[in-house]
Amino acid sequence: MPRQYKDYYAILGVSRDASEEEIKKAYKKLIKQWHPDLHPENKKEAEEKFKEIQEAYEVLSDPQKRAMYDRFGYVGEHDFSQQASSTTFEDIFRDFESFFGRDVFDIFFGERGSTQEAQKAARRRAGEDISITVEIDFSESLVGKQVPIEYERYEMCDHCHGEGIEPGSGYQTCPRCHGSGILREERRSVFGVFVSTRTCSMCGGSGRVIKEKCHVCGGTGRLKKRVRTVVNIPAGVTDGTKLKVEGGGNAGYGGGPYGDLYVIVHVKPSKKFRRQDDDIYAEITIDYLQAILGTTVRIDLPDGGSTMLRIPPGTQPGTMFRLKGEGAPSLRTGRRGDLYITVNVKIPDDISGKEAELLKQIARMRGVDVL
């Protein structure tokens, strides 16, 4: 199909002998006026207009393309419609800021406020978390304990208050990106100009760098120190419980917040007790005569105390007794589980002659055959 001629000078509203500065000024004015996001009522028409403005500037701002256009009335192919429809209002002006300067961005979004405060905020980053392990006895896990701990962490530098800047100093424009915060790369071809951007690695996208680093911390804003404190281990913890101490980790960067400290509790296993959820299990051994005739025995409790347990006559081996509320406290509710005592009965393997005779008499009374 015949190529449709477009008067790029008329689209931008400039004369054919307009200077580069006049073309740029006209473009800046029109691009703000016709961005589709500013015309929701007739967005399609605005998109077409916006596309034409971009297309016209793309040609007239490039000396080689402009010369070709002035001679032949057109320049290579480039799809501007896709760019216009997919580019958001914030995206286009983020690029304009680095290309034209800060004035375009400020017109739409207002002044940025305190530049120094903005740079401080951009550099702030939370510190790393720290994990340590403490060990407590089984009984201590049921009643809780305060455990003294000692570990190393980075703390905020008092000289620069964690900002990494020598007091009295400040910021200066980044020499690499010249204050834009981004680095642009252009590649020209017969099909148009291809532009790619990336965040400036020197300033991290803030556009400014520190003039003078803190001479105490070297600009990191923090110093390594050994910390001594006490951790409160709540009653009811199980082996592997992870406790969080907010702010107990490393200091942040650029005055950012401290990370957290995670205390991993290792509970040493008990020789007497076994915990399952909030219930605790134990075993005792009694003499066969106690099992037959009944008795009362003293038993140890998991948290360190003791109590008396009544064994009724005729208790069979393996019988389990429940002591309500003598188990472990729940970390969530504080309610205690139960203590379960399993009774083992010991049968003697060596008895005296007199004891054997008495047992034989009992056997004859019960009609039981024995040796």
Q: pLDDT of 84-142, one tens digit each?
A: 444 444 444 444 444 444 444 443 444 444 445 555 555 678 899 999 999 999 999 99
What is the pTM assigned to this prediction?
0.57
Burial of 325 (0-12, 13-18, 19+ CB in 10 A): exposed
Instruction: State phi, psi for 327 to the nearest 5 degrees.
Output: -90, -150
Position 108 scores a pLDDT of 40
Position 349 scores a pLDDT of 86
pLDDT grade, residue 74 (50/70/90)?
Answer: low
Q: What integer is the mean pLDDT of 145-165?
A: 92
Name the pairing type of β-strands 339-346 and 279-287.
parallel
Distance CA 211, CA 171 (A): 5
Position 258 scores a pLDDT of 93
- The alpha carbon of 1 is separated from its chain's Cα centroid by a whole number of angstroms, namely 58
pLDDT at 236 over 70: yes
Q: What integer is the mean pLDDT of 30-37?
A: 83
Position 79 scores a pLDDT of 42
pLDDT at 281 over 80: yes
Distance CA 99, CA 193 (A): 14
Distance CA 34, CA 270 (A): 77
What SS3 class is residue 18? coil
Least confident of 167-176, 338-347, 356-365: 167-176
**For the chain, which domains are there?**
8-111 (1.10.287.110), 125-166+214-269 (2.60.260.20), 274-366 (2.60.260.20)
Position 117 scores a pLDDT of 54
pLDDT at 71 over 50: yes
Q: pLDDT of 288-300, one tens digit each?
A: 999 999 999 999 9
Higher pLDDT, 119 or 224: 224
* DSSP symbol at 42: G
Distance CA 200, CA 183 (A): 6
Most confident of 45-54, 192-201, 291-300: 291-300
Distance CA 366, CA 361 (A): 9
Q: For the chain, what is the mean pLDDT?
A: 83
Q: What integer is the mean pLDDT of 318-325?
A: 96
Distance CA 145, CA 158 (A): 33
pLDDT grade, residue 189 (50/70/90)?
Answer: low
Strands (E), 192-246: 192-199, 208-210, 222-233, 242-245
Distance CA 52, CA 59 (A): 11
pLDDT grade, residue 193 (50/70/90)?
Answer: low
